[in-house]
């Protein structure tokens, strides 16, 4: 059985995450991540979100827009299992899905209506900047939070790595700390890197390779040492600058 209903984006999410590498694998893991859900025409009306401010959290249904061309498979290799064991796609939260639809719960901080543009200020998202949002629903605690639910391979929260800054990175961080374009920058960097974005089989291992994640319009460069994850440099990102420019065109 098929249907011909067309799905369109009702909004687009603006986040610090400018590339897929480094994005938390689940929502809520990095509470320092702040962003906005910007409603798109013809849904860009304050009446469409009337009463939404009474809720503390929202469900966002979205499209894995950068993965659609890659298609999907019946089985995937979850990062939790080190990429060595296969599970059915419907037994995972893989981004490569038949219809490319995902869902995330985020914290709602405020509803803004400025110059005819309606946006929702949120945090804790796990979404790439520019992600199309196909629906917004309020989170209902008594029905959406199920006590004693079983989480399968993801029952426990991930183990966090120690994150520290070398002297150069500390000095560079100080230059950005009071800039409103980089809200809670240190906490964001620490939260993202504490998840250790590397493949699961590399975790808990020293690694001299230089890694990079793009947050806002910055490249965060880091390595893995015996003491944890060392941030060694913050610098302007060509990835972040390009996407930020596109977002404002």
As a three-state string, the secondary structure of 9-44 is CCEEEECCECCCCCCCCCCCCCCCCEEEEEECCCCC
User: What length is written for the chain?
Assistant: 249
pLDDT at 76: 85
**Residue 71, SS3 per DSSP:** coil
Tell me the pLDDT tens digit for each residue of 70-107. 888 899 888 777 767 899 999 988 888 889 999 999 99
pLDDT at 204: 67
Spatial contact of 62 and 97, defined as CB atoms under 8 Å apart: no
Average pLDDT, the chain: 89
* Residue 243 C-alpha from the chain's centroid: 16
Q: Determine the Cα–Cα distance for residues 207 and 161; give it in Å rounded to an integer.
A: 13
pLDDT at 1: 55
| Confidence bin at 194 (pLDDT 50/70/90) | very high
Backbone angles phi, psi at 60, to 5 degrees: -110, 125
β-pairing verdict for 228-236 and 163-165? parallel
Tell me the pLDDT tens digit for each residue of 14-67. 999 999 999 998 999 999 999 999 999 999 999 999 999 999 999 999 999 887
Contacts of residue 22, defined as CB under 8 A and 6 or more positions apart, other chains included, come to: 192, 193, 197, 213, 214, 215
Q: Which fold has domain 163-248?
A: YaeB-like fold (3.30.2310)
Q: Which of 104-113, 150-159, 217-226 is the least confident region?
A: 150-159
- Residue 177 tokens read as 């700390």
Residue 143 predicted with pLDDT over 80:
yes
pLDDT at 153: 79
**Exposed/middle/buried for 23, CB within 10 Å: 0-12, 13-18, 19+?**
buried
Helix and strand element counts for the chain (H, E): 4, 12
For residues 190 and 7, the model is more confident at 190
Q: Determine the Cα–Cα distance for residues 176 and 15; give it in Å rounded to an integer.
A: 17
Superfamily for 11-154? YaeB-like (2.40.30.70)
β partners of residue 138: 58
pLDDT at 151: 86
Taking the CB of residue 93, how many other CB atoms lie within 10 A of it?
Answer: 15
Domain ranges in the chain are 11-154, 163-248
């Amino acid at each position: 059985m098929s249907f011909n209903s067309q799905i369109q984006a009702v909004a687009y999410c603006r986040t610090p995450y400018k590339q897929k590498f480094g994005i938390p694998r689940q929502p809520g893991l990095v509470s320092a991540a702040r962003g906005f859900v910007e409603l798109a025409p013809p849904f860009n009306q304050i009446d469409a979100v009337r009463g939404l401010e009474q809720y503390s959290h929202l469900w966002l249904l979205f499209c894995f827009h950068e993965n659609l061309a890659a298609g999907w498979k019946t089985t995937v290799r979850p990062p939790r299992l080190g990429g060595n064991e296969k599970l059915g796609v419907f037994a995972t939260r893989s981004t490569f899905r038949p219809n490319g639809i995902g869902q995330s719960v985020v914290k709602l901080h405020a509803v803004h209506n400025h110059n005819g543009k309606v946006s929702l200020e949120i945090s804790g998202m796990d979404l790439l900047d520019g992600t199309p949002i196909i629906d917004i629903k309020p989170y209902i605690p008594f029905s959406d939070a199920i006590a004693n639910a079983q989480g399968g391979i993801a029952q426990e929260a991930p183990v966090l790595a120690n994150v520290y800054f070398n002297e150069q990175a500390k000095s560079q961080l100080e230059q950005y700390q009071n800039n409103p374009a980089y809200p809670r920058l240190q906490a964001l960097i620490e939260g993202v890197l504490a998840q250790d974005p590397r493949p699961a089989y590399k975790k808990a291992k020293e690694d001299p390779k230089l890694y990079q994640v793009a947050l806002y319009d910055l490249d965060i460069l880091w390595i893995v040492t015996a003491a944890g994850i060392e941030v060694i440099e913050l610098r302007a990102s060509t990835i972040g600058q390009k996407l930020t420019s596109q977002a404002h065109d």
